[in-house]
Structures are given as C-alpha cells and as structure tokens.
Structure 1
C-alpha cells in the first residue's frame, strides 16, 4: 500500500496565485522552547533531525512552512536547511512580534516592519517571502488602523520582496478588516474555539486566504476523551470552504505522517474536495 500524501490535494491560497498543501508545517519548535503553550515539554531538534523532518514533509506533499521572528532561531535555521530546495516551499513569516530574553515585545511601526522583513529575507536566505502576516498582540483594529504596518507591507509587496500580506489576529473585527485590505487572515478555529467563523465566511465569499492556527488547540484537543479528536478537528476545519490550510507544528515524524494520512483520507471522502 502506498503512503498517503497531499500532493494532489493542494488548493488555492485565496487569490494570491499560490497553491498550498492543506496542512502546513509550523516551525516554532525548531527555534524556541520558552514561553510556548504545549501540553508536553520538548527538545529543539538538531539540524539532522530538522532536515529529516523537512524532507519527510516534502515527501508527504507539504509545501507550506510557517515561521516568525518570534519563533526564536526558526528563521535562521530554515535558511541553511532550505538551501537548494527553496523553490519547493511557500514560506509564511510574520512582523510585529519580537521574542528576546524570554519575553515578547511588539513593534508595528513602518520602520520596524521594513527592518523585520529585510531581516527575515536575510535569515531565510531568500529574495522573496510568499506571505507575511502581522503578528498581532490582540489589538487588531488599532494595529491595522493606526500603526502603518499594512501600508508598509503593501509597499514591500509592490517592491516584490513579499508576495502577499495579512494578519494573524485574535478578533473577528480584525480578521474582517485584514481581509478587506489585505490577502490573508490567520485565525484560531478548532473544536474548542469557533468565535472567528465570520472571518472564514467572509473569506469564502470574497476569495481571500485563510490559514488556521491552533487547529488542534495547540495539542490540547488530543488530550480530550471520547472519539478521535484529531479526525473531529480536521473534519470541522476542512468542512468550511473558506479554509486554505491548517498550520500544525510538530517535530514528531510519526505525528506528521499520521496527520497527513488522516487528512488525506478525510479530504478524499468529503464532497468539497476537488
């Protein structure tokens, strides 16, 4: 029996012109082990393990990688790890949140936004990042209205340094405004939290991109008793036509292959799958 993959299940990322795997690989665990909200502890994998994980992800049909300056050394590690295969990946990075000495701080100013993107390009050893999201501190509307971050990202898009931009936010109002004025919203949507569903609805109606964060409630949903929580989580997320991809951060090869096999089976059995 052939291993299940997602190669033929890629889908449009809104109206960006990009096609992405329905599962993206989150890379916070490649770069940061402080101040993370996972139910179990973990060790940051060494380069050999990280490279093996990326190779496995590619073989399984995953082409979407999620990183951020706030993910410790994730970007710096990905740069060398992706050398020679950069063309095979759609990279999502962020601006706005810095993580230093175990603490987050936020800066959404135009100057810092530009500095952050230029730094990410250097760290990732690339000339172009496909998607950059604003890493919100929760004040979504104020950030989008007052900081100048979206205007700066639009400039960087015109300059060809980034392909698309959006918001990784925390509110319905922020998500809606982010989609009205940008390309993508990253929203929390899982068995425990569905408050941001109106953002998914808007995206589906307007051809905008949605990435789901915490699809498995940062792993916590897997601790609940009852029927298979992973299947139930994926079923909920992908039943919505607005969803482009779900970002799941794992450094466990068995979890990765299990997630892909389950999602592949589920999408092929759902009437919405192409």
Structure 2
C-alpha cells in the first residue's frame, strides 16, 4: 500500500471558498449497478466495504465526495456512512436527473429543483450541501436559459442550504454559460476526449471551479497498452491551471490507492 497522500495538495475550487483534494471519490457504484457505462461488471459494496473505502479515501487525503439522486441509493447510504464526519468532507450532489425503474428522467423546474435539494439534505443527514450541479441531459444551454433551475439554485445558496452551484454538462457552450452565471462546471476531459477544454480555459482566467468527470474515460483508458495511461491522464488534467479535481468512481481500494499515488506524483512533479 503506497504512502503517498493528497493531504497537502488540496486546492481552491475556483472562487467558492471550498478547498478540495485533487481527486474526488465518485459514488455511483455505491448506489446503482443498472445502466452504467463501465467496461466490466461490478457488485455494489455492502456497508462494511463502503465504510472501509471511505475511510481509506479520507486517510489518504481525499475530502471530496460526489453523489447524485440519479445514483440509485448512493445519497441514502452516504448519510449514515458519513455520520460524525460532516466537516471532513466537501459534498457534491446534483439536481435534474432521477433514476427510477432502470431509467432516467429529467426535471429542471424550480419546484423539482427545490424538492430535490431538500431531499438530498435529508438523505445526506446534513444542513448544507457544498456544491449542487445541474445534471444535464445534454441540452445544456436550453436548461440554463429556460428552466429556472439556476435561479432556484441561487435562491438556495442565499438561504445557506447550498454553498455553490454549477452544471455537469456535455457541451462547451453550456459549460461557458454555466460558469458565467454560476460557480463551477463539471466537464469531461481525458486522453480520448478533450472537446470541453475551452471551459477549463475560461475557468482558469475567470477564477471559476472545474471538476472533471470521466478522467479515465470511465475506466476505458486503463485498457489501452503502452505508456502508463493513468499517469498520462493525470498529467493532462493537472497541467491545466483551471482543473481543481478529478472524480474517480472506483470501489476497488487498490485502484483508489494507486490513483492517489499517481496523482500525488504528477502534481508534486508539476510543482518542482
């Protein structure tokens, strides 16, 4: 087990006032095993395994945890699993996508947005969520301009129920609009897909937050031969001044430790 940790490598998430570890733990696999795009099948970990994974992440310097209503029972499980540890974590959740009976449906209306955040607060057993992202269906610009979701999130921020908000989107135009009017964007950026890089460029200039999803292309990048794909992926991400953190969705403790070691090595090298 490697001794490299991320404790001294936390960085600001744009201008949100939040300080995050360069890797975050994604928890879709704690709550849902249907309709997920991973190269291999998996079994949802039981509570003891999930508790060990969270303890390992925290021990090795991860303070960022990413969940969503669309991740099945992820939020409900995290509430009890994180009891007594609230201040140790920066919690990211989402609004807009619901996953029911094996299918996604989307609702970005003000009423549903407020309902969803209140439900997440209850499930996560907390009085505030650090960051709420709009879980886009791909129509990023229309959602931001027409649904009222951002205005509702701004109200919830003023009420102190959330600390920051943004968009987990699929387009450059959506990402740029999300940053102009909000705090953060979650983008896809990996060795196979760099189309959303302009969003990170904008964030770096304007002091906004960027989280990266699919940093290892949902595990697919690890299947390619040749150079060390995990290290190469992290070099791509952490050389970019706009990127605060990459979300890693592993439930394998060894993979988690290896990813932490690789990220720590890349970031320390960058700093020299």
Q: State the TM-score, normalized to the length of structure 2.
A: 0.99
- Partner residue in 2 for 1:158: 158
Q: What CA deviation, in whole Å up to 9, does each residue of 1:140-198 have, x standing for no partner? A: 00000000000000000000000000000000000000000000000000000001111
- Partner residue in 2 for 1:81: 81
- Partner residue in 2 for 1:255: 255
- Partner residue in 2 for 1:231: 231
**Separation (CA, whole Å) in 1 of partners of 2:202 and 2:9:** 23
Shift >4 Å, 4+ stretches: none
Q: Secondary structure at the match of 2:125?
A: coil
- Partner residue in 1 for 2:27: 27
Q: Which moved more, 1:259-268 or 1:65-74?
A: 259-268
Q: CA RMSD in A?
A: 1.0
Contact 2:169 2:175 in 1 (8 A): yes
Shift of 1:225: 1.4
Contact 2:10 2:21 in 1 (8 A): yes
- Partner residue in 1 for 2:115: 115
Superposed counterparts of 1:1-274, under 5 Å: 3-271=3-271
User: CA 1:174/1:99 → structure 2, altered by over 3 Å: closer, same or farther?
Assistant: same
**Separation (CA, whole Å) in 2 of partners of 1:176 and 1:146:** 16
**Separation (CA, whole Å) in 2 of partners of 1:2 and 1:155:** 44
Unaligned runs of 5+ in 2: none
**Separation (CA, whole Å) in 2 of partners of 1:233 and 1:2:** 19
Q: Secondary structure at the match of 1:157?
A: helix
Q: How many residues align?
A: 272
Shift of 1:2: 7.3
**Separation (CA, whole Å) in 1 of partners of 2:262 and 2:150:** 37
Q: State the TM-score, normalized to the length of structure 1.
A: 0.98
Q: What CA deviation, in whole Å up to 9, does each residue of 1:226-274 have, x standing for no partner? A: 1110011010011100000000101000000000011111110113x7x
Contact 2:2 2:257 in 1 (8 A): no
**Separation (CA, whole Å) in 2 of partners of 1:147 and 1:226:** 46
Q: What CA deviation, in whole Å up to 9, does each residue of 1:48-101 have, x standing for no partner? A: 000000000000000000000000000000000000011100000000000000
Unaligned runs of 5+ in 1: none
Contact 2:2 2:261 in 1 (8 A): no
